[in-house]
Amino acid sequence: MSTVRETAYTQAASQYQETNQSKSVSKKEETSDKKKVTSGRTYGDPELSEAGMKYYNSLRQKFGGMNFVLVSSDKKAEADAKKGSFAVAGKMTVLIDEEKIERMATDEKYRKQVEATIANASSGVNQLQQQLAKSNTKVNAFGMSIKKDGTAEFFAVMDKSFKSQSERIAKKREEAKKTKREEAKKAKREEAEKRIEDRRKEDDDEETVTLTASSPEELLKKIQDYQFNMMSDNVRTEEEKQVGQSFDYTV
């Protein structure tokens, strides 16, 4: 009886080990089946399975007028923080990560949801652009990122034109206060330039701003608010236009 039990135990242990080995091999094969994506724009080192690659190519073809950027899973947060840098003029940018593409390749319901989100986003942004054209509001580029639940976050990239203009005004005012002595003029110029450079560094050396929203309607409002604030920032009273007006460089 003892021998029978030992034999049964040995067989069970062997089967358990074989099962685990099989799972391990299967997992390795699944990982090795994925290949690095080399076509189109990418961020990080995204990899897709054969099914994922096939679907992604068809998705890009289906929405051929859009600028797709495929992001690796480990770079999602980083890409989201700098999404404005991926935008290009004349094309709607779509940020999407490899995990979502893999899910879309096998989950028909999720695939239809995301594709509908992309299509609706394109239509919504087109209407938004038409409204902005009427008010002569310039937006460099538009984009969207796909969230985990299949919905979209929209973004628009605009110039910080008011910033450079304000800096020119500040520089002229500072120069108007300088004395005729060359050393004093040089010192104040260097000081002004340093302060301007510090402010530029605080803005990450970018001359653009990225506005985000959960819908085209909300994005339109944010663009209009930004435009209003930008214009208000450049409004100066007659007194402020006088040479020698003091200017506060503090941020």
* Residue that wins the pLDDT comparison between 83 and 16: 83
Beta bridge partners of 35: 48
CA distance 29 to 142: 40
* Residue that wins the pLDDT comparison between 178 and 41: 41
Q: pTM for the full model?
A: 0.64
CA distance 149 to 213: 16
CA distance 226 to 155: 13
pLDDT exceeds 80 at position 140: yes
pLDDT band at 184 (very low <50, low <70, confident <90, very high): confident
* Residue that wins the pLDDT comparison between 121 and 248: 121
Angle at the Cα of 145 from the Cα atoms of 141 and 148, rounded to 5 degrees:
170
% of the chain beyond a pLDDT of 90: 49
pLDDT exceeds 60 at position 215: yes
CA distance 186 to 196: 15
φ/ψ (deg, to 5) at 169? -60, -45
101 by Cβ neighbours in 10 Å (0-12 / 13-18 / 19+) ranks as buried
CA distance 137 to 151: 27
pLDDT band at 214 (very low <50, low <70, confident <90, very high): very high
Looking at 55-64, 76-85, 161-170, 212-221, which range is the least confident one? 161-170
Q: Cα dihedral sign for 129, 81, 193, 176? A: positive
pLDDT band at 84 (very low <50, low <70, confident <90, very high): very high
Give the position of tokens 């039990």. 5
CA distance 17 to 24: 11
Per-residue pLDDT of 8-37, as tens digits, reads 555 655 665 655 555 544 444 444 588 999
Structure tokens at 205: 């050396």
| Contact (Cβ atoms closer than 8 angstroms) between residue 86 and residue 93 | yes
φ/ψ (deg, to 5) at 180? -80, -10
**What length does the chain have?**
251
* Residue that wins the pLDDT comparison between 160 and 185: 160
What was the pLDDT predicted at 134? Answer: 86
* Region 52-80 average pLDDT: 95
What was the pLDDT predicted at 170? Answer: 55
Looking at 64-68, 71-75, 177-181, which range is the least confident one? 177-181
